[in-house]
Amino acid sequence: MASSIHDLARHLNISIGTVSRALNGRADVNADTRQRVLEAARKLNYSPNQSGRSLRQGATRSIAFMLQPHPGDQQYGEPFFIPFLTGLQARLAEHDLDLMVVMGEPGQYQQERLRRVVETRRADAVVLANTRREDDRIEYLSKAGFPFATLGRSQSGGDTYPSLDIDFERAGDEAVDRLVARGHRRIAAIRPSLDLNFGYLFLDGYRKALKRHGIEVDPDLIADGFINETGGYQVTPQVMRSRNPPTAIIFNNDAMALGGCKALAEMGIKPGHDMAVIVIVDTPLCRYFSPTLTAFRPSLEPMGRRLAEMLLASLPAFAGPEGTRIIREVWPLELIARESD
C-alpha cells in the first residue's frame, strides 16, 4: 500500500542508497538523478516511514509532554494547558517533531508513565509541567541522562536543564505593592498546600514586599489549602477568624480564589467592596466572575513556543553550530486590573 524507498528505487532502476541520498539532500548525487527521484516520490506519493527512520537514527522525532493532574483537581483541569500546548506543538512541528502527551495518574507522584516513555525510547525528550519544589521526575530524568525541560522551576536537578517559569515572586511582590498603595496593611496570602514550587516563590515575593513596607508578616494571614475551589472555600474562613482579620487577600490560584469568594460571600463579605482580592494567575474565570477579579496574566502560547526553542537549543541534534545551551528564563506577568481590589 504505502510506497517505500525500495519501490522508488525499483521504479527508477537505481539503488535505494541513491534514492535515500537524493531525498535527504546529500551532495553526492547528480542533479538530474535527484530531480527524477523527487518526481517519482511525488508521483508514487512516497513518505518516509518514521519507524524505520527512528530505528536507524536512534531518534524518534517526538517530544513527550507530561502533565500531572493535581490530587482532587476539578473537572475541567487547568485551563491554561491548551494554549501552552498549542504554542509548544506549533514550534515543534516546525522542526518536524511530534508531541506526545503523557498524563500521570492523579493523586500520586507517579514516575511509571515517564519511565515507560524513557525506557522504551518513545520520545527524544520530555517536557514537564506542574513542577514540584522537590520533583522526583526531575531527579529521575537527570540521573537517567534523558533530555528534558520544565515549565516551572524546581529545587531538584540543579541548573542542568532548560526551564521556563512565570515570575511568581515578582507577582506576589507587586500584588502586595498594589494593595499597600491602596491603603491595606493586613494582607492575607492563600496558596496550595501541595509541594508545587510556585507556591513558595509566590510567598517569597509576598514576604519581601511586606518587609519593604515595614509590615510584619503575620503567620495567621498565611494559609495553605487544596488546590481547588474546595480548598479556597475551606481555608478562607480560617484566615478571617484570626484575631486581626485581613482587609485584602491574595490567592495564588484561580480556583482557590473562586472558592474563597464563595466563603466570603457566605460570611456577608463582598469581594471588591469589603475585601480586596487579587489572583496570581489569571484565567477566563477571573474575567467572568462577579466581581471580575484583578489578576496577573501570563502569555501562554508564546511561552509554549519559547520552551520548545529552549529545549531544542539544549539538544545536540538540534542546536546550531554554536553548540548546545541550557537556557533558563523567568517571564513577567501582566497585571489585569479589574473590580475585585
Partner DNA sequence: CGTTTTTCCGTAAACGTTTACGAGAACACA
Partner DNA sequence: TGTGTTCTCGTAAACGTTTACGGAAAAACG
Which residue ranges make up the site for DNA (CB under 7 A)? 2, 4-6, 13-18, 20-21, 23-24, 28-33, 46-49, 51-53, 55-58
**Residue 33 near which of DNA, a copy of itself, none (CB within 5-8 Å, type-dependent):** DNA
Instruction: Lay out the site mask for a copy of itself across 100-119 (x = CB under 8 A, - = otherwise).
Output: xxxx---------x--xx-x
Pick from 15, 63, 78, 116: which is nearest to 300 by CA?
A: 78
Q: Does 48 bind a copy of itself (CB under 8 A)?
A: yes
* Residue 81 binds to a copy of itself (criterion: CB under 8 A): yes
Site for a copy of itself in 273-332 (CB under 8 A): 283-285, 288-290, 300-301
Amino acid at 63: I
- Provide, rounded to whole angstroms, the least separation between the CB of residue 45 and DNA: 11
Q: Which does 244 bind (CB under 5 to 8 A by kind): a copy of itself, DNA, none?
A: none
- How far apart are alpha carbons 335 and 100 in whole angstroms? 33
Dist CA 278 CA 257 (whole Å): 8
Candidate residues 15, 30, 35, 50; the one interacting with a copy of itself per rule CB under 8 A: 50
28 contact choice in DNA, a copy of itself, none (CB below 5 to 8 Å, kind-dependent): DNA
Contact 249, 188 (CB under 8 A): yes
* Cα distance between residue 9 and residue 42, in whole Å: 14
Q: How far is the CB of 96 from DNA (least distance, A)?
A: 11
By C-alpha distance, which of 263, 267, 318, 309 is closest to 149? 309
Partner in contact with 284, chosen from DNA, a copy of itself, none, beta carbon below 5 to 8 Å by kind: a copy of itself
Q: State which residue, 119 or 329, has the beta carbon closest to a copy of itself.
A: 119
**491602596: which residue's cell?**
182
Omega of the bond prior to 83 within 30 degrees of 0, cis? no
- Contacts with 286 (C-beta within 8 Å, 6 or more apart), sequence order: 254, 257, 279, 292, 293, 294, 295, 336, 338
Q: Does 60 bind a copy of itself (CB under 8 A)?
A: yes
- Residue from 49, 108, 155, 160 touching a copy of itself (CB under 8 A): that is 49
How far apart are CB 314 and DNA at their closest, in Å?
Answer: 21
Q: What is the CA radius of gyration of the chain?
A: 25
Task: Annotate 103-127 with b (16+ C-beta within 10 A) or e (fewer).
Answer: ebeeeeebbebbeebbeeeebbbbb
- In the complex with DNA, the residue whose CB is nearer, 20 or 324, is 20
User: Which residue's CB is nearer to DNA, number 1 or number 181?
Assistant: 1
Three-state SS for 69?
Answer: coil
Task: Using alpha carbons, select from 78, 72, 76 the residue that is nearest to residue 234.
Answer: 72
Site residues (CB under 8 A) for a copy of itself? 1-2, 45, 47-52, 54-55, 60, 62, 65, 69, 74-83, 85-86, 89-90, 93, 98-103, 113, 116-117, 119-122, 145, 258, 283-285, 288-290, 300-301
